[in-house]
Amino acid sequence: MDLLEYQGKQLFARHGVAVPDGRPASTVEEAVAAADEVGYPCAIKAQVQIGGRGKLGGIRIATDRDEAREHATAILGMDIRGLTVHEVWVERASEIEAEYYAAVVFDRTAQAPLMMLSTRGGVDIETLSAEDPGAIAQLHVDPLLGFQDFHARRLAFEAGVPRDLVRPVGALMAKLYETFVEEEAMLVEVNPLVVTPGGGGDGGGRQVRALDAKVTLDDNALFRHPDNASLGNPSAEDPQEQMARERGLTYVKLDGDIGILGNGAGLVMSTLDVVAQEGGRPANFLDAGGGSKAEAITSAVEVILSDPKVKAVLFNIFGGITRGDEVARGLIEAFHQIQPQVPFVVRLDGTNDEEGRRLLAEANLPNVHTAKTMTDAAREVVALANQAMAEAAS
């Protein structure tokens, strides 16, 4: 689950990461009131889960109340690369002497957290890593050992951090790692991590703080973090994926036109491959799970058909703990409730498969085809989808 910037900063503050004072706002009046509270100058920042907001006018500095109103009016409702801005984050403007980059990401290959630090922040990190990989210091952390002081010193040395900033940068990296572990995140990224000028009236030296926050939480761990579970951003979520999640289905939207339903992740993955091999383009990954009942099948059909791009649907069910007759009843019930207008190809194999095929035959559902093998089913559904596309074009 990806968080908005201000949600990530609130998570950071919970773990002692220094962030600028700010307030979220969803209306112009709330934004102006927030600007009055944090003080001027302040930054009005669009809250969308995409980079490059500043270049597209999504981040503006207000020096007084009138400018705060003007900027909030311009940003709220703005379209930024296909995403509509529904909220802004209003924060006190920071004095910036330098911009760094810091991140903790789970490296699946190494099966360990990867810490990254660079003194060249504030730019597109993908471009930087491609043009100058040596500009980003990297270090894997043994999960059993955790992030230690010597890790911080090594990262700071390799990144070229000035001596007076080694301690504050190390302390902040330790807090980012704490956030990563305790919140069960997959990514914690700060770009930029800003260095503020020293020599102020309080006599303090240069300090570092997180001017941005990009956080991705592990969906599978949210049941242990009820406070975080409420941080999702429904407006940024695909409507089919949101519908599937609400119904307890495992669904990933793809860019094709053939709906796919199977029971078990491995079978669904194989179905996607076979459909692609036959020249088709899957519209989704949908795993109804083992032991799928009629209600789950009905919900799955509704989710698949909610995607207007779907021209044909392939049901590929292997009955282990899943019973073919239950699947058939679910499909029959779905057709009675939804009355789909696209063709279905059904392949049932395994437990009670003959009973399932008998039920489908007796129901005589319109535009439902059966196949004996996965390859036959894939070939037929691709042909039906192509036929539907041709008819729509003519």
Which residues carry out catalysis? 101, 189
Closest CA to 371 of 350, 389, 349, 351: 349
Tokens 């074009």 correspond to 393
The span from the CA of 218 to the CA of 394, in Å, is 46
Give Rg (Cα) of the chain. 26
Contact 298, 328 (CB under 8 A): no
Measured CA to CA, the distance from residue 334 to residue 313 in angstroms comes to 13
Q: What is the dihedral of CA 32, 38, 43, 46, to 10 degrees?
A: -60
Residue 78 one-letter amino acid: M
Please, are residues 342 and 310 in contact by the beta-carbon 8 Å criterion?
yes
156 and 170 Cβ atoms separated by less than 8 Å: yes
Residues 275, 285: Cα–Cα separation, whole Å = 12
- CA–CA distance, 218 with 37 (Å, rounded to integer): 34
